[in-house]
Structure 1
Amino acid sequence: MTALSFQPRLDPRLETVLGLIRADTHADLGTDHAGLPIRLIQTGRVRHCIGVELNAQPLELARRQVARAGRTEQIELRLGNGLAPLQPREVQSVSMTGLGAGTIAGVLARGQADGKLPPRVVVQCNDSPLALRIWAQEAGYHLAAETLVAGYWPYPVLVFEQAEGTDPAYTDLPEAAALRFGPQLLREGHELLRPVLADAYGRYAPAAAPGRSAQRELDAVIEALVYLGWTVEEIRQ
């Protein structure tokens, strides 16, 4: 196999992330084996990519992959934590995938405090994106796009862009439901919301009681169902 024919295989969640990135220079945090940076370059979606990896062993594997693809001049790999190895205004966008929402939000918050967070952020988390949506509202980022990707469970993929004022994505929606389940997903009535809501209902309904956190979570599920016009029986089928 030649360098020109070598194309790393991305799973559906990373293919979705790939399609949401376009920049002159992009950074992929926690790049693992550099599959996403290689495909970003191969598809022409970015001109230059920086892959950041916390651990030395996967970074070395990433170097081999980049060399195998013949992209060493376009992909730079750096060892470090989150956005720390980057310079302010060095990239126009950043991606982070395969981690919990709270972990990702923490990395983004630290990067913003250091002046290294770019104006566009593409993330895929392995749990509820609530922490990311709250971070975005507090950090001055608006929700530009979001979707769910079928997999071991429905994987949330979100795009945030730096903007001023109140995020219009949440206008005229029940606030708790929109924050927990996604304003654009609610407006769309995304089909994968059904298993997400069914799982949330199953976890919180048995423990719900006035004053309990489970009751607040259950109320958000009910808000979402009312907005969508779905019943508990429909989502649990």
Structure 2
Amino acid sequence: MTLPTLDARLGAVLDLIRADTHADIGTDHARLPVRLVREGRVSRCVAVELNPGPLALARRMVARARLSEQIDVRQGDGFAPLLAGEVQSASVTGMGAYTICGILERAGEKLPPALVLQPNDSPLWLRTWARARGYHLRSERLLPGHWTYPVLRLERAEGEDPAYAALPEAAALRYGPLLLREGPPLLLERVRADIARLTPVAAPGREAWDELAAAREALAWVEGR
């Protein structure tokens, strides 16, 4: 079987996963688990899908790839089909950041030590959640597509996350501390677009005012590196 193709965002997710046992939450067609096993990035994968249609497609994909012994497709909501400690890492992709936060919150003791997350909107909620729940940001990327897709790798660790040290907090949470330090062109494009969008509507006391301040802080930091 030809390996299933992945778009840029899932390709970045793939690159950030390496574990013995991994769970892909909301796996859809199970393209990511098949690639993970075929490329030797994981030994075993649990593919979780709630909706019956995609679940059936995922099972067919795994069967065609002859990987039923290594990829266990389970129906369920979020981490519910998993046992505590069953996997060393998990991915949650293609959803809004608020939805992903809800999935992580409900997981409880089933949360693994490593997470790779790809929200379809601002990852501010996820960075805030990670800092409050003892996960440190180890890697983050920004990919082009229908909109800019952030991809984050988080790992459980003690203490304050060093990724945020010496950075303006609001800018780092909104745009990503590692991305601010790196300053990729796509990030600069996004920050400048935010400034242009927010400037006409920002006023003291409005949410846009704080967002504009964070965008200006981010631009100043990147340009002053």
Do the structures match in fold with TM over 0.5? yes
Q: Is the 8 A contact 1:122 1:157 kept in 2?
A: yes
Q: Is the 8 A contact 1:6 1:68 kept in 2?
A: no
TM-score normalised to structure 1 length: 0.92
Unaligned runs of 5+ in 1: 231-237
Q: 2:191 aligns with which of 197, 201, 218?
A: 197
> Percent of aligned positions with the same letter in both sequences?
59
- Provide the alpha-carbon RMSD of the alignment: 1.0
One-letter amino acid of the counterpart of residue 208, structure 2: A
Q: Name the CA distance, whole Å, in 1 between partners of 2:148 and 2:57.
A: 29
Q: 2:28 aligns with which of 18, 29, 32?
A: 32
TM-score normalised to structure 2 length: 0.97
C-alpha displacement at 1:32, in angstroms?
0.4
Q: Secondary structure of the residue that 1:207 maps to in structure 2? A: coil
Q: 1:60-118 CA deviation, whole Å, 9 max, x = no partner? A: 1111111111101100001011001100000000001111111111111111x2x1000
Q: 1:65 aligns with which of 61, 64, 69?
A: 61
Q: Name the CA distance, whole Å, in 2 between partners of 1:194 and 1:33.
A: 34
Q: 1:80 aligns with which of 76, 96, 106?
A: 76
2:207 aligned residue: 213
2:114 aligned residue: 120
1:235 aligned residue: none
Q: Is the 8 A contact 2:188 2:219 kept in 1?
A: no
Q: Which runs of 4+ in 1 moved over 6 A?
A: none
Q: 1:43-64 CA deviation, whole Å, 9 max, x = no partner? A: 0000000000011111111111
Q: Name the CA distance, whole Å, in 1 between partners of 2:217 and 2:84.
A: 41
Aligned length: 224
C-alpha displacement at 1:157, in angstroms?
0.3
Unaligned runs of 5+ in 2: none
C-alpha displacement at 1:154, in angstroms?
1.5
- 1:52-201 maps to which residues of 2 (within 5 A)? 52-111=48-107, 113=108, 115-201=109-195
